[in-house]
Amino acid sequence: MSWSSYHRESRWAGWKRCFKRFWEFAWKGGLTLLVPVLLAIGWYAYQASKYDLAEVARMPARTVLVDRGGVEFGTIHGENRRLVEHDEIPEFLKTSLFAREDARFLEHEGVDFMGLARATLRNVKDLDFTQGASTLSMQLARNTYDLREKKSLNRKFLEIALTYRVESKFSKKEILTHYLNRIYFGAGCNGIEEASLTYFGIPTSQLSQGQSALLVGIIRAPHACSPWRNLEGAIKQRDEVLARLVTTEAISQTEANKIKKAPLNLRNPDSERIETSHGARVLRRPLEIVLNDTQITTGGLRVITSIDFELQQGIEELIRKTPLPTGCQMAALALDPRNGDILAVVGCRGTNPTGFNRALDSHRDLGPGLIEPLIGTIALERGHLPIKGNPVTTGRQLEEQDARQLLKRFGFEGKFGNGDDLFRGTLSVSLLELATAYATILQRGSRPTPVFVRELLHEEKTLFRRPPAFFPAFSKHSRLSTIPRHLGGMSLPKCDLWAAALDEKKVIVVWAGYDKPRALELGEGVTAGIKDDLEMLLRH
């Protein structure tokens, strides 16, 4: 080949050929990489599809007990959580949460790739998963489905896939609300409402700016920075939130300093919540009859009860302050004769009641002072006149078997004495039965059905409602001409102290004695004190 026959290739042609080869390589290489990427995306999308999105909004919450006047007096069942609506969340709390946890929450579609890229670079630098870059949506997905696997790419990819499903199903408002209702705030508090009530004694809607910033601050370390456990650490977290708000220009430094100086009004952890353990404990039994196992476990119901919270507290105080011998027990029950509402129940003298409730489960003998109006009623039912102050003579006008059957109309199910002993009060009754019997007399022979639960609500929808019900036990002519306001006395033998107070709106019955019957010795001051207290409660 001669030099003259060689044709030199242009520079452009060389670049063109190199570009062509690079494109062919990139195309083939891209396809090679694209296939496993698509397979991975499909795999994690398939894994995410196995999770039920309804779980995001389905949160076990405490069932709230409300008295007949609308006062919340306790919670039972479910987790220690109360749910809030989006409109109940203060704007400052939302702003603080975005600034601290997810500044681009309203902009991204669940995954903040800018933050994810920064976290990835940091993890590569640290050779560990020190940064997570989780958005609020990702945290909600992780907490909902309890993804506890150690930080890894597998968990992160599954979390991302679940997050996109969550974002496709729920609005930003719903995601934010579900997030705040679900996360843990320390001290046994699940959700923002329970945390607000526990730490500050107020609902979420009433949180101040400083309180909001503190609760947002402890989200990252709810146990270590709980204000009850580590107030200094909690305040430090609050200050970091405020500093972040200043950086994002949501507030000025002057405003931040003002918020820091404002009192937190933190509750004392030893202070009592507005509730009654006796009233809450006794509601478990009737609710277990009305609800199924799933409803009990899940909770989240609002129970409109028959309880009068103020009266309940008054009766608890009566039992607490009554001086009794060591080992002696006491119980009380109040009933509204007009509709059967059980207004108050105290089943023991202790502050932590057990499953055995002496007002409902224990049956003890009455005495002459308590049985007289009952004997007088059944005598009138058969056309006989009651002999005042002498229930035995009144009872003798009746056939013994007939007397037993008539007494059963009051609702008594216990043991009946024989002969004159029956008319002396040898009749085994519970406090609930006795209160119902007196209510029957006040209602002119109509026996009210005792009720604990009036209505069950779930998300403002009525699941159950029970109207008042009455049983026609006696004719109207059996009503006593005079009904005593106070009744009291000892059983025979003197093992049980009974006291009762009656008016048209309530019947209150009190019992005192030993669980294993034995002689009970009480001074006149004790019985007089109980009578005075019952009179005050009647006027309530």
* Per-residue model confidence (pLDDT) at position 24: 55
* Per-residue model confidence (pLDDT) at position 1: 42
Q: Which long-range contacts (CB under 8 A, 24 or more apart) does 114-120 make?
A: none
* Per-residue model confidence (pLDDT) at position 464: 87
Q: How many residues are there in the chain?
A: 540
Same fold yes or no, 81-261 and 313-450+472-538: no
Q: Helix or strand or coil: residue 162?
A: helix
Q: Which residue has the tokens 């579900």?
A: 178
Q: Residue ranges per domain, the chain?
A: 81-261, 313-450+472-538
What is the torsion angle, in degrees rounded to the nearest 10, for the CA atoms of residue 293, residue 295, residue 297 and residue 300? -170
Backbone dihedral region of 276: left (phi > 0), alpha (psi from -120 to 50 degrees) or beta? beta
From first CA to last CA, the distance across the chain in angstroms is 124
How many whole angstroms separate alpha carbon 44 and alpha carbon 67? 49
Question: Into which CATH architecture does domain 81-261 fall?
Answer: Orthogonal Bundle (1.10)
Question: Into which CATH architecture does domain 313-450+472-538 fall?
Answer: 3-Layer(aba) Sandwich (3.40)
184, β-bridge pairs? 190
* Per-residue model confidence (pLDDT) at position 295: 66
Q: What is the DSSP letter of 341?
A: B
- Token readout for 171 is 């609005």
* Per-residue model confidence (pLDDT) at position 11: 45
Q: Alpha helices, DSSP H only, in 170-308?
A: 172-182, 192-200, 209-217, 231-247, 253-261, 277-282, 284-290, 293-298
pTM for the structure as a whole: 0.72
* Per-residue model confidence (pLDDT) at position 137: 92
How many whole angstroms separate alpha carbon 237 and alpha carbon 195? 16
Contact (Cβ atoms closer than 8 angstroms) between residue 296 and residue 287: yes
If one counts every other C-beta atom within 10 angstroms of the C-beta of residue 525, the result is 9
How many whole angstroms separate alpha carbon 301 and alpha carbon 292? 13
- Token readout for 188 is 């046994």
Written as tens digits, the pLDDT of the chain (540 aa) is: 444 444 444 544 544 555 555 445 555 555 566 666 667 677 777 777 888 888 888 887 788 899 999 998 888 877 778 889 999 999 999 999 999 999 989 988 888 777 666 655 655 555 444 445 689 999 999 888 877 665 677 777 888 888 889 998 999 999 999 999 999 998 888 899 989 998 998 999 999 999 999 999 999 999 899 999 899 999 999 999 999 999 999 999 999 999 999 999 999 886 645 456 788 888 887 887 777 666 666 678 889 999 999 999 999 999 999 999 999 999 999 999 999 999 999 999 877 777 789 999 999 999 999 999 999 999 999 999 999 999 999 999 999 999 999 999 999 988 999 999 999 999 999 999 999 999 999 999 999 999 999 999 987 889 889 999 999 999 989 999 999 999 999 998 899 999 999 999 999 999 999 999 999 988 888 999 999 999 999 987
